Homo-oligomer: A and B are copies of this chain.
Amino acid sequence: MITKSLLTIEQVNEIALDTFEMKLKATVSLDEVEPGQFIHIRIGNDNAHQLRRPISIADLDKPKQMMTIVFKVVGTGTETLAQANVGDKLDILLPCGTGYPIDKLEVQKALLIGGGIGVPPLYYLAKQLVQKGVEVIVILGFQSKEYVFYEEKFASLGVCHVVTNDGSYGSKGFVTNVIQEQSPTFDYYFSCGPTPMLRAVSQTLSDKKGYLSLEERMGCGVGTCFACVIPTPESSTSYKKVCQDGPVFEADEVIL
């Protein structure tokens, strides 16, 4: 069940250009939280910002009730967030959405494909997979060298390829280039990133089973406003809500 609570900021670090990692202490239990879920964060405490911002859960320490998020400053909301101080409290809705259903899957080997700010949720996913004995291969795509983060963290969990659009770090190109070059074998793929990337990934891997975590602008974040719908193949009016039914979907469940 989603609840509203306050998280206390215990640490803020700029871990790559415009990219911040924040460690948050919860007063509510995080035991039910699954990889791929997100928190919906209120920005400021006055009326200037009417909409909350969805940010994925990048890591969890359930016994310590600690959560990590990683976000990139792209506009006023994330900018305000980045300026918050240690000790400040974030008003959040938690846990939002439906994550990666890894407990229901038969998987020995998984391919994780993340792009930009789609990388963070894959980290907690990778940790959970490895803990279940799954072998993980990771492909991370970034704009350029300055934006790369979490490479070592992923490398400690499995093979990790980094690709940058401009080739300033790792190989040059898109995540799909790496998939094509490496042709890795796996049972399931799990991908998160901007929609154009997910579209390319799901086309490239159209013969494989996989899960995509989508990004869409949100209003409520809890399923009431219909801001975040994505069409599904059943009919011309069928849909899923990214905030509630997603953000994680089976690759063929939605029309990108």
Q: Which residues of A contact B (CB under 8 A)?
A: 44, 46-49, 76, 80
When all copies of this chain in the complex are counted, the total is 2
List, in ascending order, chain B residues with CB within 8 A of A80's CB: 46
- A-B contact list, 9 entries, CB within 8 Å: A44-B46, A44-B48, A46-B46, A46-B48, A46-B49, A46-B76, A46-B80, A47-B48, A48-B48
Provide the bound-state CA to CA distance between A47 and B47, in Å. Answer: 9
List, in ascending order, chain B residues with CB within 8 A of A47's CB: 48
Provide the bound-state CA to CA distance between A76 and B48, in Å. Answer: 13
Closest to A43 in B: B46
Closest to A47 in B: B48
Closest to A76 in B: B46
Distance of A85 from chain B, by nearest CB (Å): 10
List, in ascending order, chain B residues with CB within 8 A of A49's CB: 46
List the 8 closest A-B pairs by CB distance, nearest first: A48-B48, A46-B48, A47-B48, A44-B46, A46-B46, A46-B80, A44-B48, A46-B76
Interface centre among A44, A46, A47, A49 (most CB of B within 10 A): A46
List, in ascending order, chain B residues with CB within 8 A of A44's CB: 46, 48
Distance of A141 from chain B, by nearest CB (Å): 33
Interface centre among A48, A49, A76 (most CB of B within 10 A): A48
Provide the bound-state CA to CA distance between A194 and B11, in Å. Answer: 48
Provide the bound-state CA to CA distance between A138 and B49, in Å. Answer: 46
Distance of A248 from chain B, by nearest CB (Å): 33
Provide the bound-state CA to CA distance between A188 and B44, in Å. Answer: 49
For the complex with contacts A44-B48, A46-B46, A46-B80, 6 further pairs of A-B residues with Cβ separation under 8 Å are A44-B46, A46-B48, A46-B49, A46-B76, A47-B48, A48-B48
Distance of A102 from chain B, by nearest CB (Å): 40
Provide the bound-state CA to CA distance between A55 and B44, in Å. Answer: 25
